[in-house]
Amino acid sequence: MTTPLIEVEGLTVTAGLNVLVDDVAFTLESGSRTGIIGESGSGKTMTALAIMGLLPDGLTATGSVRLRGEELLGQDDKELVTQRGNSMSMIFQEPLAALNPVMRIGRQIAEPLLIHREISRAEAFLIAINLLESVGIDDPERRAKAFPHELSGGQRQRALIAMALANGPALVIADEPTTALDVTVQAQVLGVLRDQVVARDTALILITHDLPVVASVADSVIVLRDGAIVESGPTQEVFQTPSDLYTRQLVDAVPPLSRSVTVIPKHVEPQIDGEPIVEMTDIRRTYRLRKRNLADPAPLIHALDGVTIDVLRGETLGIVGESGSGKTTLARIIMGLDTPTSGVVVVDGIPLDSKQNLRRVRDVAQMVFQDPMGSLDPRMLVEDVVAEPLRSLRVGGDHRKRVAELLDAVSLPSDAVHRYPHEFSGGQRQRIAIARALAPGPRLLIADEPVSALDMSVQTVTLDLLDELKQEFSLTMVFISHDLSVIHEISDRVVVLEKGRVVESGSAGSVFSQPKEQYTKDLLAAIPRLDGSFLDKGFVA
């Protein structure tokens, strides 16, 4: 029997007394594609770093990691360096952070070649150009001379893939390689990644929290929870008949739209009586960039380019778009945090055209933000965080009692008031943020990517909570997200934005089951599905 490519046995990673990875064992054959899935804190990244010998200071790995029978753990850095970038390489989540901003792309891709092979710089540069071409970058010669900031997010991630593949490694570890990308770009990058590892017979470990992403790339899957393997096996087998309760929860948390392309989920058409609470007419918002030189006029960016949207009382309006579509600008304009360059906004009968009126809007509309770490003041007790809007907007009554009621409404324990935000998990923090938004009794809730920073199972719970609260507090909700599956779950009506323009709008049922515009169709086609159907449908660009 031949030696497997990678054998991991009894791998345990500890930080002091904390066990981050607990007795993990698996083997990988060469050319296999394995997904490691788990929620935040499950130890998936630590497992990868331990294999690469890149654990941060203060963490200790014990057990055994063998590459073609040769023990890697315990080797010192000098020996490992010959493996890293040569027989193993890694792709990171945030391509902008993983690339050196002051080094040209081609030079960076050439770097692993120069380290591990005896070739000239010119030769390495030529190979780099070939690699860039193979990961689907147009005009590779020109891109090779570009700096990272001159490329788009998708191009940067492709460049990182090229860099990881440079020396024809036997194993590539990709840690959440597409989490920071838009859905259409994600589809392309995943396609490139899969095609390249297949073509080169390179083994792939794909680490992600996103089950459909794993399904579209990996042929086997390992499910981690609290550092230990709860289940592993062929991807479709695990996802279709999960034997472990935790895996089942993860699978159940996948929204219907992300399950399969063939199943178009049903959608109940809501009964909304037509009176609008927000009326936006021909909204434009332009930003003037810094002048490049004195002669040219300063370049303009059209964040919103003639947008007309009504939000009807009692509905949940989903606004979906990729980065740069202007969806957050839209939210800020409804909240009066930003003023449109032209156009009219009326919220609950108040035209947003004067300072006093902007203040009055605060009584009507409140907002929930994406990142629950950043949206709560770390130096304030939860009680003060939630009571802040009450004080600011001079809401009468017993604030303490009101805060207790709100925390109860979002299912947080009453002793939460005397703690600081950092003592809570991401999902709990988002509940605190929701409680704060509900505090002054708004009629309109603007939620800007409220679940994007949360684990998938927490997403589901948070969406359900928002839906319940919407009924309980008779709210109208504007729900903004890049994630079509989430929008599909919660929205009554949907608006699709692209580059500051409304591409398509209509009831959720009609937009998702019979999209009229090509852009909407592309977005829907790019969603990774749990049954792995999307990459085989030929979306790969």
- Of 173, 433, 435, 523, the one binding another protein (CB under 8 A) is 433
Q: Which residue has the tokens 């459909």?
A: 212
> Nearest distance from residue 63's CB to another protein, in Å?
6
Reading the block at residue 151, the tokens are 């490329």
> Nearest distance from residue 271's CB to another protein, in Å?
30
Angstrom distance (rounded) from CA 537 to CA 528: 11
> Nearest distance from residue 12's CB to another protein, in Å?
9
Report if residue 413 touches another protein, rule: CB under 8 A.
Answer: no
* Shorter beta-carbon distance to another protein: residue 133 or 388: 388
- Of 20, 335, 484, 530, the one binding another protein (CB under 8 A) is 335
- Of 3, 27, 75, 510, the one binding another protein (CB under 8 A) is 75
Q: Where are the alpha helices (DSSP H) in 218-293?
A: 235-240, 245-252
* Stretch of 53-61, 280-288, 310-318, 502-510 lying at the interface with another protein (CB under 8 A): 53-61
Report if residue 63 touches another protein, rule: CB under 8 A.
Answer: yes
- Of 362, 419, 443, 499, the one binding another protein (CB under 8 A) is 362
Applying the rule CB under 8 A, the residues between 340 and 359 that interact with another protein are 359
Report the largest interatomic distance among the alpha carbons of the chain, rounded to a whole angstrom. 79
> Nearest distance from residue 380's CB to another protein, in Å?
8
Reading the block at residue 54, the tokens are 């890149």
Report if residue 525 touches another protein, rule: CB under 8 A.
Answer: no
Angstrom distance (rounded) from CA 86 to CA 68: 14
DSSP for 32-46, written as a single string = -EEEEE--TTSSHHH
- Of 234, 299, 351, 374, the one binding another protein (CB under 8 A) is 374
Q: Are 478 and 331 in contact (CB under 8 A)?
A: yes
Report if residue 286 touches another protein, rule: CB under 8 A.
Answer: no
* Shorter beta-carbon distance to another protein: residue 161 or 364: 364
Report if residue 115 touches another protein, rule: CB under 8 A.
Answer: no
Of 50, 55, 65, 59, give the one whose Cα is nearest residue 10: 65
Angstrom distance (rounded) from CA 372 to CA 433: 7
* Stretch of 203-211, 294-302, 375-383, 505-513 lying at the interface with another protein (CB under 8 A): 375-383
Going from the C-alpha of 245 to that of each of 63, 79, 225, 250, the distances in angstroms are: 27, 42, 11, 9
Angstrom distance (rounded) from CA 170 to CA 466: 46
Report if residue 79 touches another protein, rule: CB under 8 A.
Answer: no
- Of 10, 168, 299, 351, the one binding another protein (CB under 8 A) is 10
Angstrom distance (rounded) from CA 215 to CA 530: 6
Q: What is the 8-class DSSP label of residue 307?
A: E
Report if residue 81 touches another protein, rule: CB under 8 A.
Answer: no
Of 206, 229, 203, 164, give the one whose Cα is nearest residue 5: 203
Angstrom distance (rounded) from CA 227 to CA 20: 5
> Nearest distance from residue 21's CB to another protein, in Å?
12
For 275-314, list the strands marked E by DSSP: 276-288, 300-312
* Shorter beta-carbon distance to another protein: residue 402 or 488: 402
| Number of residues forming the site for another protein (CB under 8 A) | 45
- Of 243, 308, 339, 392, the one binding another protein (CB under 8 A) is 392
> Nearest distance from residue 390's CB to another protein, in Å?
9
Report if residue 388 touches another protein, rule: CB under 8 A.
Answer: yes
> Nearest distance from residue 115's CB to another protein, in Å?
19
3-class DSSP state of 409: helix
3-class DSSP state of 388: helix
Report if residue 397 touches another protein, rule: CB under 8 A.
Answer: no
> Nearest distance from residue 41's CB to another protein, in Å?
15
Question: Residue 50 is inside which H or E element, if any?
Answer: helix 44-52
Q: Which residue has the tokens 């006029």?
A: 297
- Of 168, 234, 299, 378, the one binding another protein (CB under 8 A) is 378
Counting Cα atoms < 13 Å in the Cβ hemisphere of 138 gives 4
* Shorter beta-carbon distance to another protein: residue 73 or 272: 73
Judged by the rule CB under 8 A, the positions of this chain that interact with another protein are 10, 15-16, 50, 53, 55-64, 66, 71, 73-75, 77, 335, 337, 359, 362, 366-367, 369-371, 374-380, 388-389, 392-393, 433, 436, 439-440
